[in-house]
Amino acid sequence: MRLSSGSRQQIHKTLEIDLNQLFPFKLDDFQLEAIASLKEGNSVVVCAPTGSGKTVIAEYAVELALARGKRCFYTTPLKALSNQKLYDLRKKYGEQQVGLLTGDISINRDAPVVVMTTEVFRNMLYGTSFGDVNKNLANVASVILDECHYMNDAERGTVWEESIIYAPTEIQLVALSATVANAEDLTAWISETHGPTDLISSTFRPVPLRFYYFGGNRLFPLLAQGRGLNSQLKTLFGGKRYSGGARRRRQAGDVPDPQMVLLELAKKNMLPAIYFLFSRRGCEESMRKAQGLNLINQLERQQLEKSIAELVGDNPNLKNHPHLPYLLEGLSVHHAGMLPSWKGVVEKLFQKGLLKAVFATETLAAGINMPARTTIISSISKRADEGHRSLTASEFLQMSGRAGRRGMDEVGHVVVLSHPFEAVEDAAKLATAPADPLSSRFTPSYGMVLNLLQRHSAEQARDLLERSFGQYMVNKELDPWFLQKMIWEQELTKLSQPLCPAEQGDLPSYRRRMETCHARQKQLRQTERGLSVHRQRQEPAAGEDVLVSLRQDMKQALSEAYAMPCHGCPVQKPCSKQGERLKHLQARIKELSRRIDRETNKHWRTFESLANILRLQGYVNADTPTHLGQMAAAIRGTNELFLSEVAISNIWKGLRPPECAAILTALVSEETRLENAPPVPASPTVEVALLRTQKIARRIIQLQREFNIEVPVEFSACLSGLSQMWAEGANWNDIRRVSLLDEGDVVRTLRRTVDLCRQFTRAPNSPRQLVDLCLDTEVLLARDEVREDF
């Protein structure tokens, strides 16, 4: 049953929750404002800095749902965050009250409170392997969308948009976001798409930040009191330092030594710190350079030794980890290339306050809860896919936001390191810059087409596509175009009224007649001139009859033109101008309509092209998914059509489970980082199957070109041999010996392989041979480091 806005408000107003009992501390104004909106039955967008207390609002939403005897979903962007939130909520409500749902783990999924990734929630809205949508959402009163600013993520941002578009309007949405520039647009879009939504924004940080600049082995305030650049820094480090003289270079120095940086912070009691760098190698090198600082005292060392023994003792893969000596000095590294189990050790030690410095890539800035007293930003530029570029304001804010622990620090510190190729003025600009706006990443995919057509008509699907945040922003930008078109159309209507005082004239027809007369007059003169020349030469000339005929035609044409109402009309000149303006307006309106249509139907055109490809391949019949389409709809990947074509091919015939693992790994591997290391060879049988898979990839790419569609086809065999080796029983030390790849990359790829195994197993209408192979393959792969614990 769909509740009206008034009904929702009435239900909420009858509920009274004792805030003093629920939160034994004084709430901030923005928290109280959000709670009031939730009590009114409205959805909310909460935009506030990291560490400001947005979780309080989520906790109230949970309490509100439970008080009504309803359920609440808590979504996060990362599995690590889901696991952490599961732990927090179970600690508060008990194990029976809180469940967990990921792509491969289902624990107490019917509990009153269920934690999941946003992708899982989106997939539940589609139905697919999670079952009936209505059953999935039974009794759900609210959905918390934590870290909603992930909408900006290039690869995954579309998931948040889809979740908001497809969520039933009776469900209350609680969108928690870091500070963004266009929170008003986001709120207005959710109000238009989902239902009444209030924006709750705050710039208040319970633990304020102070910004510093480290150069010449000294620490300086980065900003003056007026928030501009500290004048002392302008004197010492101003301008482009690489163009300065030797004296300035000596003052500025090269990139600061991590040891000197940490020593200075230790003197000023500014540790623990997260030291952000933009490469894994940079993290490792900086940690090595910082060794020997003696940042911890004897008591802290004893606590470290005890905690490390407890955390590492049961895991043989960690007992001889090369970073253990650094841990005992209070130092560590944290990046995506580390073993997940090792990262877990680092996170727990840091949260206990036993580590003084963690050298991390920026992925930690968007990861789990690891606040520090100080964050160190080693550079204000980084290498990206588009080349070397400056940090965005939001990237800088995200890293800065890790500084300052609520309840532990009175102030958080952000230290920007000097760099020979970066101006101190740019650092000050970033420190004071507003956040970047959210932009839409909404993109139709094969999976989206199939899932929408399973539950909706083509027209309904089109309506859903046009409700995306991206389309909302496009329509907003097109408002001036729509206004201009309306003005021109109104003018066109006025100009369509004739100026003739009496009879209905046809000026264009009159002009054509007069032009015909002029043409014939010209022809007549030319003919007369030719005859005259012949007469003067006394040459015989045929053409007198033609001349007579031309004169008669000329007379007839003039007679007809003079008889028209426009001949001699007093308003002929303004009427002529009106006609020209009319013609000009019609052309401009046509061109503007074409441009508007191109912008407003962009997603639908992509949807139609994808649907046509699927029809051609037998996945859709008219607008209904076939048995093949139902299978493909349950598969999640970059290119669901490619994965499905491989699934139904005969490459699996005669393969053993370890060989199946090798092929599946090739379907989920990313080429960039992994192809730099020499591959472990796979068996000849696998090589043959890989060649056949490559042919399928090329066929799909060619087919997409014909329809002007660009959906990436992920396929790389660089880890296939390693995957086969793992499935054949190798232990982790064996993997270390034969591979130069970062362990975290190997684990992540093998986990993605396991996930694809499960997808093929659960997808309806999957070939029986493939299902049996995948069941056996999953057992061989999902062990030790590859098995995901919650």
What's the whole-number average pLDDT of the chain?
A: 86
| pLDDT digits 0-9 by tens, 739-749 | 888 999 999 99
Q: With contact defined as beta carbons under 8 Å apart, do 372 and 410 qualify? A: no
**The token pair that represents 607 in the structure block:** 């949807």
Statement: residue 366 has pLDDT above 80 = no
Statement: residue 280 has pLDDT above 60 = yes
| pLDDT digits 0-9 by tens, 702-742 | 999 999 999 999 899 999 999 999 999 999 999 999 988 89
Least confident of 4-18, 130-144, 761-775: 4-18
- d(C-alpha 557, C-alpha 236), whole Å: 89
Beta-bridged to residue 413, according to DSSP, are 210, 374
Q: With contact defined as beta carbons under 8 Å apart, do 440 and 468 qualify? A: yes
Whole-number pLDDT of residue 790: 59
CA distances from 694 to 616, 641, 643, 677, 700 (A): 20, 14, 12, 21, 10
Identify each DSSP E strand in 319-430 by its residue range.
Answer: 331-334, 357-360, 374-377, 381-384, 387-390, 412-417
- d(C-alpha 768, C-alpha 779), whole Å: 17
| pLDDT digits 0-9 by tens, 604-645 | 999 999 999 999 999 999 999 999 999 999 999 999 999 999
Mean per-residue pLDDT, 577-583: 73
Whole-number pLDDT of residue 1: 32
Least confident of 62-76, 225-239, 484-498: 484-498
| pLDDT digits 0-9 by tens, 178-224 | 888 899 999 999 999 999 999 999 988 889 999 999 998 999 999 98
**DSSP assignment letter at 3:** P
Whole-number pLDDT of residue 241: 47
Percentage of residues of the chain with pLDDT beyond 70: 88
**The token pair that represents 328 in the structure block:** 């005992």
Mean per-residue pLDDT, 348-375: 86
Which of the given ranges, 252-261, 463-472, 560-569, has the highest pLDDT on average? 463-472
